[in-house]
């Protein structure tokens, strides 16, 4: 009986220890993923005139945007938007904000028809009050302020009758005003820049990172890529897209450049095509792509293109030769059999003639 009692007591103690251990695990996990504490701070700011003679939009609502990640592996998402009016002195202020480290904040205001924003700030511990200035610009629709720093066109040839082109433009605006036209793209957004493509371009594809900032215009025969976001001074913008052209043998490409372009570069696989031009001069060099080890001809235009210039050049495909059916070598014809046949027939004829002649003589002698 004593042994049974000790066994039951020991079993109960073991179960108690096991239950205690299972309760300790979620407690430690909860402590490891505890939500950071919120801190109350004030964010103030002011308008900085990016354009000479800027008229302050006094009374316009300034919006403070707060973004936060729900988990370390998730992207930040908007959680709060707060508005405050712009004072006559060009200042604004947001008080008693409950924020935490790693929050993202920025301020924006609608001016000259577009949203203009401050820099995005990531909060770090310990949180303190800080200022968030917004630089405002007036608008211009003068296309002469747009400058393309570099245009690069990389060709690949997926088949003998088509070329795949990846184009990348890096551009900026000069002066102290942002650039935007009054024209509208098919998506309804205002157009800032246009990039005409060669006639016959098809299968356009855009960089997903640009989202709704790109659209297609022009016509089915001569399409254009349209950039639909404002271009601000002191910033550079990269526009990337791809398209296909029907191309076999040699073809002359003619493309319009609407803005002054400082540098144009064309990349061709060494074993696939060459470039020539009667109108333009190119510097040529050979590069080997890292990883693939494939060699490319790099053709760089020697002179900048002015606004509304045309780039005209000829591509010559290096197609593999069409295989021809192989004809086997014929041995010299043996004509010995023919000579033997002629000789046999000759002998047979002579023998027949001799027999006929002998019979004829015998008939004459019998008479």
Encode pLDDT of 200-243 as tens digits.
999 999 877 777 899 999 999 999 999 999 999 999 999 999 99
Lowest average pLDDT, out of 50-59, 137-146, 181-190, 317-326, goes to: 317-326
Least confident of 116-125, 174-183, 187-196, 210-219: 210-219
More confident residue, 340 or 19: 340
Q: How far apart are CA 283 and CA 264, in angstroms?
A: 11
Q: Which residues contact 99 (CB under 8 A, 6 or more apart)?
A: 38, 39, 41, 66, 105, 123, 127
User: pLDDT digits over 269-296, tens only?
Assistant: 998 999 999 999 999 999 998 888 899 9
- When computed from its CA atoms, the radius of gyration of the chain, rounded to whole angstroms, is 43
- Between 353 and 201, where is the model more confident? 201
pLDDT at residue 31 above 50?
no
Greater model confidence, 2 or 350? 350
CB 298 within 8 A of CB 244: no
Stronger pLDDT, 259 or 28, i.e. the higher one: 259
Residue in the block written with tokens 């076999």: 248
pLDDT of res. 60? 97
Task: Answer whether residue 254 shows pLDDT above 90.
Answer: yes
* 80 has pLDDT over 90: yes
pLDDT > 70: percent of the chain: 77
φ and ψ of 75, to 5 deg: -70, 155
Pick the more confident residue, 359 or 183.
183
The confidence score (pLDDT) of residue 364 equals 38
Burial of 362: CB neighbours in 10 Å, binned 0-12, 13-18, 19+? exposed
HSE at residue 316, side-chain half, CA atoms within 13 A, is 4
Cβ atoms within 10 Å, residue 313: 20
Q: What percentage of the chain's residues is helix, strand, coil (to nearest 5)?
A: 20, 45, 35
Q: Could you give the domains of the chain?
A: 39-136 (2.60.40.1120), 143-317 (2.60.40)
Cα angle: 59, vertex 63, 64; to 5 degrees: 135
- State the burial class of residue 227 (Cβ atoms within 10 Å of its Cβ: 0-12, 13-18, 19+): buried
pLDDT at 326: 57
| Region 164-169 average pLDDT | 96
What's the burial of 317, exposed, middle or buried (CB within 10 Å: 0-12/13-18/19+)? middle
Q: Is the pLDDT of residue 358 over 70?
A: no
For 308-350, what is each residue's pLDDT tens digit?
999 999 999 876 665 555 555 444 555 554 444 444 544 444 4
The predicted structure's pLDDT at residue 110: 97
Q: For the ranges 34-38, 54-58, 141-145, 354-358, which has the lowest average pLDDT?
A: 354-358
Average pLDDT of the residues in 257-274: 95
Cβ(239)–Cβ(210) below 8 Å: yes
pLDDT value for 34: 58
């Amino acid at each position: 009986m004593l042994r049974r009692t000790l066994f039951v007591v020991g079993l109960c103690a073991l179960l108690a220890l096991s239950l205690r251990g299972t309760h300790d695990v979620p407690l430690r996990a909860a402590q490891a993923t505890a939500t950071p504490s919120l801190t109350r701070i004030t964010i103030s700011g002011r308008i900085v005139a990016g354009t000479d003679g800027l008229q302050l939009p006094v009374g316009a609502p300034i919006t403070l945007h707060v973004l936060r990640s729900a988990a370390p592996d998730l992207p930040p998402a908007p959680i709060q938007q707060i508005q405050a009016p712009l004072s006559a002195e060009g200042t604004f202020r947001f008080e008693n904000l409950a924020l935490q480290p790693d929050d993202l904040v920025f301020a924006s205001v609608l001016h000259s028809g577009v949203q203009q924003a401050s820099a995005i700030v990531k909060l770090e511990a310990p949180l303190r009050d800080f200022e968030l200035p917004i630089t405002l610009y007036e608008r211009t629709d003068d296309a002469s302020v747009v400058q393309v720093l570099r245009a690069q066109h990389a060709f690949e040839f997926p088949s003998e009758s088509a070329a795949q082109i990846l184009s990348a433009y890096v551009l900026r605006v000069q002066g102290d005003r942002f650039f935007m036209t009054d024209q509208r793209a098919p998506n309804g957004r205002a157009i800032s820049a246009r990039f005409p493509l060669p006639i016959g371009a098809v299968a356009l594809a855009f960089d997903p990172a640009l989202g709704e900032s790109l659209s297609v215009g022009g016509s089915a025969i001569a399409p254009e890529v349209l950039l639909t976001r404002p271009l601000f001074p002191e910033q550079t913008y990269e526009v990337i897209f791809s398209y296909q052209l029907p191309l076999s043998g040699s073809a002359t490409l003619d493309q319009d450049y609407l803005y002054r372009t400082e540098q144009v570069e064309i990349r061709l696989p060494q074993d696939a095509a060459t470039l020539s031009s009667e109108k333009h001069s190119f510097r040529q060099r050979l590069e080997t792509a890292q990883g693939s080890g494939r060699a490319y001809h790099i053709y760089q235009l020697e002179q900048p293109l002015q606004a509304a210039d045309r780039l005209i050049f000829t591509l010559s495909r290096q197609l593999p030769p069409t295989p021809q059916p192989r004809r086997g070598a014929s041995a010299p014809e043996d004509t010995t059999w023919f000579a033997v046949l002629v000789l046999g027939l000759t002998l047979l004829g002579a023998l027949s003639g001799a027999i006929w002649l002998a019979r004829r003589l015998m008939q004459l002698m019998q008479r």
